[in-house]
Amino acid sequence: MPEEERTLRLNLGCGTKQFEGFVNVDKVQLPGVDAIADLEEKRWPWDDNSIEEIRAYHIIEHIREPYDFVQECRRILKPGGILDLRFPHRKHHTAYVITHRNRFDEYSFVSVTATHQFDIAELNVLHDWPYYWHIQNHLGEWLLKMPFFRKREVQIKLRKAVRKEQGDIQE
């Protein structure tokens, strides 16, 4: 298959959680890891505009410079490519694990959309409450704003914005 037709998808910081159809990447060689890369480095070993999708589940909170991480994802993503991030919500106790350098919430990535680097494709806030969907559907969203409904985790899918002026489109 020619290089330009091949779909390349990365699962960054995979650890022992690999996804089929993805190149599973980690800093250390573990069973199932396909490629080794230090995600703290300024430049990763993939070409500009070469990746269709990046999954980074529970990795960005460990990164020293999360803005640089997102910028490097943007560099290697194809125009319209997806950056799928998942991280603990800053109000949840798991955000305070000693190895977590950063804390985020559902509003943390507004700046990358405001600067036209990404568009939000999907945003989900997962809660601890076991009957969350019953409450949401039968009692309303207002009740979910109460403090006893802890936000556990955020998943945000960012689509690399296609902007003619940024050189993402070739004529």
pLDDT score of 111: 81
pLDDT score of 82: 97
Per domain, the residue ranges of the chain are 3-163
Residues 6+ apart with CB under 8 A from 49: 76, 77, 78, 79, 168
The residue among 83, 80, 103 whose CA lies nearest residue 151 is 103
pLDDT score of 138: 64
CB 100 within 8 A of CB 88: yes
Residue range 99-149, pLDDT digits in tens: 999 999 999 988 888 776 899 999 998 876 655 555 666 666 666 566 555
Residue 86 has pLDDT above 90, yes or no: yes
Q: Which residue has the tokens 């006893």?
A: 148
Residue range 14-63, pLDDT digits in tens: 999 999 999 999 999 999 999 999 999 999 999 999 999 999 999 999 99
Residues 6+ apart with CB under 8 A from 90: 103, 104, 105, 108
pLDDT score of 133: 58
CATH topology for 3-163 is Rossmann fold (3.40.50)
The residue among 123, 120, 124, 125 whose CA lies nearest residue 158 is 120
Positions of E strands within 91-134: 118-127
Q: In whole angstroms, what is the distance from residue 62 CA to residue 125 CA?
A: 20
